[in-house]
Copies of this chain bind each other. A is one copy, B any other.
Amino acid sequence: MSTGRPTLADVAVAAGVSVSTASLAFSGAGPIAAATRDRVLAAAADLAYPGPNPLGQQLRTGRSGIVGAIFGDRLRRSFRDPVSIQMLDGLAQSLGAHDIGILLIPSEAGDVPPLVAHAAMDAAVVVLCNGPDDAVVAALARRGIPVVLVEGDLGAPTERDGPAGRVPASHPTARVGIDDRRGTEALVRTLRALGHERFGVVALPFGHDRRLGEPDPARDPRSGYLATRRRLAGIADAGVVPEIVIETPASLVEHGRSAGHEILSRPDPPTAIIALSDLLASGVVLAARELGLRVPEDVSIAGFDGLDLPWLAPDVLTTVRQPLAEKGRQAGEAAIALIAGVPFPPVILPVQYEQGTTTAAPRAASHSNG
């Protein structure tokens, strides 16, 4: 041992056994006499040996015991959103049960962070991805790291080998998502049944190029975040063409508030506003209150997610609840399966419409042209 921290070899010498036996004493992965084990552990305690060095184990076993969690945004923004947090909590639960750690990788606006390219991990969970040509997913695939896509997809396998051509169809991949398209559709149908005909939409970001305002008409509708696209598709499925859509740079109360002002300050605003997240919706509620509009008498407002929003009291937001922690747990299970080389079939979790106090029948007959 001479210098530095003691190693397994030092312990073996001190205990008068071979290194392999000492290893067994710690791992329990093989037959060993109780007396021998105790002797080894005693020697370890003597030397203040803190247990097998994980670096040695990892190289030997080829496993780091780490799963990367990659968020398509910087922490400050992602993590102010309880949606990411609850998902992460579920993820920590299922991975923690297997003693697997979570390596936090914020990824600013679609770049490929060095950690994605170089950090040791056995699998990665990518929380938002930009469709078939996501550079982060491509980088992981190149490294042979299994990928779990949460709320994302890579398109049909045939597309993947196209010009982007970066994720071979054979690469271990799993998908965990929610049925947000049909959830949004159900929500909008309920609003129509109440008599609403004129809708405004406050949307989640369309893609990594985040902005606040009406969407760029020149943008490719086939690119960008799939969650946003699916929820917009759900609105269309319900037969609604919104009078106005405001894209926001992130799911945050303040952006919902700005968008709400934008929509509700218009001469003849829509009678119902659908926000694609609860945080955005609650910002719209605040904007309405600030403009002296009563909710839901003057305007109906609905969200998506099913968060607890105690500060909206006495109002309770009408929303579509998604099982956030369960989504994270499933993502963790998917990662564990892929690491073990077992395929993990796609999971689509159900969502549920929840009536609150922020939606009601529109006040009076509305007219579609001012």
Give the B-binding residues of A (Cβ under 8 A). Answer: 5, 48, 50-51, 54-56, 58-59, 62, 64-66, 69, 74-76, 79-80, 82, 85-86, 88-89, 92, 96, 99, 101-106, 113-115, 117-120, 142-144, 253-254, 257, 282-283, 286, 290, 308, 310-314, 325
Contacts and interface: CB of A to CB of B under 8 A. Distances in A.
Given A55-B59, A79-B89, A311-B282, A99 B74 contact: no
Nearest to A98: B114
A172 B109 CA distance: 36
A144 B51 CA distance: 11
Nearest to A91: B75
Q: How many copies does the complex hold?
A: 2
30 contacts: A54-B120, A55-B59, A55-B62, A58-B58, A58-B59, A65-B120, A66-B119, A69-B104, A74-B92, A75-B89, A76-B85, A76-B325, A80-B85, A92-B104, A99-B114, A99-B118, A101-B103, A101-B104, A101-B115, A102-B104, A103-B103, A103-B104, A254-B310, A257-B310, A282-B311, A283-B310, A286-B310, A286-B313, A290-B313, A311-B312
A102 B103 contact: yes
A102 B101 CA distance: 10
Nearest to A308: B254
B89 A143 contact: no
Contact of A55 (B120, B144, B290, B312): B120
A59 B53 CA distance: 9
Given A55-B58, A92-B106, A311-B311, 8 more contacts: A55-B55, A58-B58, A66-B66, A75-B85, A80-B85, A88-B104, A253-B310, A290-B313
Contacts of A117: 51
Contacts of A48: 142
Q: Which A-B residue pairs are the 4 nearest by beta carbons?
A: A54-B120, A79-B85, A76-B89, A75-B89
Nearest to A253: B310
A170 to B, nearest CB: 13
A244 to B, nearest CB: 22
A205 to B, nearest CB: 18
A149 to B, nearest CB: 20
Contacts of A54: 64, 118-120
Contacts of A104: 69, 88, 92, 101-104
Contacts of A86: 76
**Most chain B beta carbons < 10 A, residue from A101, A105, A144:** A101
Given A51-B117, A58-B55, A75-B85, A103 B66 contact: yes
Nearest to A105: B101
A144 B75 contact: no
A296 to B, nearest CB: 18
A292 B89 CA distance: 37
Contact of A75 (B74, B88, B99, B105): B88
A111 to B, nearest CB: 12
B92 A143 contact: no
Contacts of A79: 79, 85, 88-89
B118 A51 contact: yes
Nearest to A77: B89
Nearest to A255: B310
A290 B313 CA distance: 9
Nearest to A86: B76
Nearest to A309: B311
Contacts of A144: 5, 50
Contacts of A310: 253-254, 257, 283, 286
